[in-house]
């Protein structure tokens, strides 16, 4: 069975590879963006099965199928809840809810093997399905690794994101977690009504601001619930920050 994984979160992709290997399946490719996926399909034979994340770093995954039309079966991987996924069941599109469990994967693979022919779908149907059921274009959850375990964290529980020691971290009220995305990637993935990039090193959540004080050079220092890191609004961002607070 020729299988590929399209997933922009590296820990989630590696975890899915491990689960598939346990089932005797070795994925032939791991792709992490719309652009990379289009290029791969244009230069390779269609796989039998695609494990496809819905929200990729550079867009929603249906954008891939505007450019290419692989004759492959699809199993979506997603962090969205059951309510939003009713349409997938209705349209006979399989999905796996993150964090993926071994039993769920086994059942999805069994369903795939029972099919005589690949599922029939087209890009127009897929586009309408995703747009109608996933109207929020921004990230709702992040998958983090804790030792050998995976955990999902809702964005409303994240006080800020910051970079240090060449890594990126999200911070909740009780601990920090390393993530794969850069702050540049996160800017387009987070709701700008709630999150603001105050400097090269930090993006903060409005609802977690405890207080704001003046700082040297007409800058502001922010105090965020549970965050010990020094958070200073960069001088060139001060005016935009004030306008953002007033929206």
Q: What would the pLDDT profile of 93-141 be if each residue is shown by its tens digit?
A: 577 888 888 898 998 888 888 775 655 555 555 556 555 555 556 788 8
Establish if 59 belongs to a structural domain. yes
> Residue 28 — pLDDT band, cuts 50, 70, 90?
very high
128 and 159 belong to one structural domain: no
120 and 174 belong to one structural domain: no
Contact 237, 197 (CB under 8 A): yes
Dihedral of alpha carbons 208, 214, 215, 220, sign: positive
Residue with tokens 């494990």: 51
| Range(s) of the domain holding residue 239 | 154-246
Establish if 149 belongs to a structural domain. no
Greater model confidence, 157 or 86: 157
Establish if 52 belongs to a structural domain. yes
Task: Please state, in angstroms and as integers, the Cα–Cα distance from residue 180 to each residue in 14, 28, 35, 185, 195, following that order.
Answer: 12, 22, 18, 10, 18
Task: Please state, in angstroms and as integers, the Cα–Cα distance from residue 214 to each residue in 106, 164, 188, 217, 223, following that order.
Answer: 56, 24, 28, 9, 11
C-alpha–C-alpha distance, residues 189 and 202, integer Å: 15
Query: CATH number, domain at 212?
Result: 2.40.50.1020
Instruction: Record the tokens describing residue 209, joined without a space.
Output: 């601001």
170 and 213 belong to one structural domain: yes
Global pTM?
A: 0.55
> Residue 51 — pLDDT band, cuts 50, 70, 90?
very high
Establish if 230 belongs to a structural domain. yes
> Residue 92 — pLDDT band, cuts 50, 70, 90?
very low
Report the chain's mean pLDDT, rounded to a whole number. Answer: 83
C-alpha–C-alpha distance, residues 63 and 156, integer Å: 27
C-alpha–C-alpha distance, residues 161 and 196, integer Å: 10
Q: CB neighbours (10 Å) of residue 16?
A: 24
Count Cβ atoms within 10 A of the Cβ of residue 113 and give its class: 0-12 exposed, 13-18 middle, 19 or more buried: exposed
The domain tally of the chain equals 2
Mean pLDDT of 136-165: 86
Greater model confidence, 174 or 187: 187
State residue 87's pLDDT score.
45
119 and 167 belong to one structural domain: no
20 and 49 belong to one structural domain: yes
């Amino acid at each position: 069975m020729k299988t590929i994984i399209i997933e922009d979160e590296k820990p989630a992709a590696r975890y899915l590879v491990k689960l598939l290997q346990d089932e005797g399946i070795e994925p032939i490719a791991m792709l992490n963006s719309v652009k990379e996926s289009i290029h791969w399909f244009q230069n390779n034979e269609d796989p039998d099965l695609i494990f496809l994340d819905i929200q990729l770093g550079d867009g929603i995954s249906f954008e891939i199928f505007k450019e290419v039309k692989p004759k492959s079966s699809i199993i979506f991987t997603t962090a969205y809840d059951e309510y939003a996924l009713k349409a997938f069941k209705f349209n006979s599109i399989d999905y796996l809810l993150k964090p993926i469990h071994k039993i769920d994967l086994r059942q999805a693979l069994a369903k795939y093997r029972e099919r005589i022919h690949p599922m029939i779908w087209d890009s127009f149907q897929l586009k309408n399905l995703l747009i109608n059921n996933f109207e929020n274009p921004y990230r709702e959850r992040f998958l983090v690794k804790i030792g050998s375990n995976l955990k999902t964290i809702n964005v409303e529980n994240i006080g800020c994101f910051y970079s240090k020691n060449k890594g990126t971290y999200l911070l909740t009220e009780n601990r920090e977690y390393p993530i794969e995305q850069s702050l540049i990637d996160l800017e387009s993935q987070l709701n700008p009504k709630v999150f603001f990039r105050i400097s090269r090193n930090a993006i903060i959540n409005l609802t977690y601001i405890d207080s704001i004080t003046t700082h040297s050079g007409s800058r502001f220092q922010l105090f965020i619930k549970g965050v010990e890191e020094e958070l200073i609004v960069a001088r060139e961002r001060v005016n935009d920050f004030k306008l953002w607070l007033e929206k």
